[in-house]
Amino acid sequence: MENQRPLHVGIVGATGVVGKEFLILLEKRAFPIASLRLFGSARSAGKRVRWSGGGINNEITVEDLAQADPTGLDLALFSAGKGVSLEHAPRFAAAGVVVVDNSSAFRRDPAIPLVVPEVNPGDLATTRSRIIANPNCSTIILLMALAPIHRALDVVDCVVSTYQAVSGAGKAAVDELFGQARAFAAGDEPRCEAFDRPIFLNVLPQIGPWQANGDSEEEAKFTQESRKILGDNTFRCHATCVRVPVERCHSESVYVRLGRATSEQEILALLRAAPGVALDDLATPRELANREEVFVSRVRVDEEDPRVLRFWVVSDQLWKGAALNSIQIAEAMGALGRFDQ
């Protein structure tokens, strides 16, 4: 965004887990900012947040979203939950603000683009919508690696098992993980509030409410969102989503059946050429927090059936799965001149 004029930016959900990552990444990426406003619930209103990016070096007071007037903003980054987005994102858009929403509120709306900038940037170029939806974190991480393979080799079937960090469920979930670790060390019973069962020394194979077919809500998103992002209504992804006692970074084990035979060399070449993807000898979540890339390792083409491919992928879901992807959408919109219309 070198030639982009500085923008008047708002962050909705500024004191939440993803809201704090917005602040870090706006500064890290030198996003052009003329002014910054922070919005939250009535409970968060009045809090002071220090930020030194964009030449602004002061404390910013969090505004009550319900009472706030968005007039004058160019861009609003939303990460405050589906209900908040449904109520307030259209209000911001009606005031002329470009909204990038991190919730599930608009992902299935056919009039609103669902975008991973490295995968389907053309959907930004053709839309007139002032609301852009950010996909589910796990879907983003999968498609960053899978989309270039699908376009070259036609993924006929996909099976993914996820190992999802507790920070994907918010700060209370992180606090609960470490609280249960301390309770274990002290010989006390674990307290369960963020999750129905203990997460420390455990895994929980449910993320989100159950659906009619037995999938969890998180599992259903893989096929629904991937079809829209890829522009392929025949794409199917069979997912099992599991919460694991990891603070940050989601991991995924991926199995795909391709339309034709391939080789490890061909797959590695596709991944090396994919923007935002990095190859790693053995990607683990502990070492890859606060990294922008999606890391792929353990690439294996089946010896008996070279149409079968398996790989392991890890990425910081608070960055590429949420805040970073949203900011990249805003950067792409700036490159298209959408903030000058």
Domains along the chain? 7-135+322-340 (3.40.50.720), 138-317 (3.30.360.10)
Can you give the pLDDT at residue 55? 63
The encoded tokens of residue 180 equal: 């249960």
- For 258-271, the pLDDT digits (tens) are 999 999 999 999 99
What lies within 8 Å, CB to CB, of 163 at 6+ separation is: 203, 242, 244, 246, 250, 251, 252, 253, 285
Tokens 């940037």 identify what position?
121
Can you give the pLDDT at residue 57? 64
- For 120-141, the pLDDT digits (tens) are 999 999 999 999 999 999 999 9
| Distance (Å, whole) CA 334 – CA 341 | 11
Sign of the alpha-carbon dihedral angle for 10, 12, 14, 17: negative
Q: Average model confidence (pLDDT) for the chain? A: 95
| Distance (Å, whole) CA 55 – CA 36 | 11
**Beta carbons within 10 angstroms of residue 109's beta carbon:** 13
State the average pLDDT over residues 180-201: 96
The encoded tokens of residue 214 equal: 């037995």
pLDDT interval class at 239 (50, 70, 90) = very high
pLDDT interval class at 340 (50, 70, 90) = confident
- For 37-90, the pLDDT digits (tens) are 999 999 999 999 988 876 666 789 999 999 999 999 999 999 999 999 999 999
Query: Is the per-residue pLDDT at 286 higher than 80?
Result: yes
Residue 163: alpha-carbon gap to chain centroid = 15
Can you give the pLDDT at residue 56? 63
Judged by phi (left if over 0) then psi (alpha if -120 to 50, else beta), residue 201 lies in left
Sign of the alpha-carbon dihedral angle for 208, 213, 214, 215: negative
| Distance (Å, whole) CA 45 – CA 65 | 8
Can you give the pLDDT at residue 25? 97
β-bridge mates for residue 164, sequence order: 243
Query: Is the per-residue pLDDT at 191 higher than 90?
Result: yes
- For 192-226, the pLDDT digits (tens) are 999 999 999 999 999 999 999 999 999 999 999 99
Can you give the pLDDT at residue 1? 59
Can you give the pLDDT at residue 53? 76
Query: Is the per-residue pLDDT at 3 higher than 80?
Result: no
Amino acid, single-letter form, for residue 110: P
**3-state secondary structure at position 114:** strand
What lies within 8 Å, CB to CB, of 47 at 6+ separation is: 15, 40, 61, 62
| Distance (Å, whole) CA 84 – CA 103 | 9
pLDDT interval class at 113 (50, 70, 90) = very high
- For 311-325, the pLDDT digits (tens) are 999 999 999 999 999
User: Within 13 Å of residue 317, how many CA atoms lie on the same side as its CB?
Assistant: 28
Can you give the pLDDT at residue 266? 98
State the average pLDDT over residues 31-41: 94
Asked if 36 contacts 51 with a C-beta cutoff of 8 angstroms, the reply is yes
Give me the active site residues, please.
137, 250
Residue 274: alpha-carbon gap to chain centroid = 18
State the average pLDDT over residues 143-156: 97
Asked if 203 contacts 222 with a C-beta cutoff of 8 angstroms, the reply is no
User: CA triplet 32, 322, 56: central angle to 5 degrees?
Assistant: 25
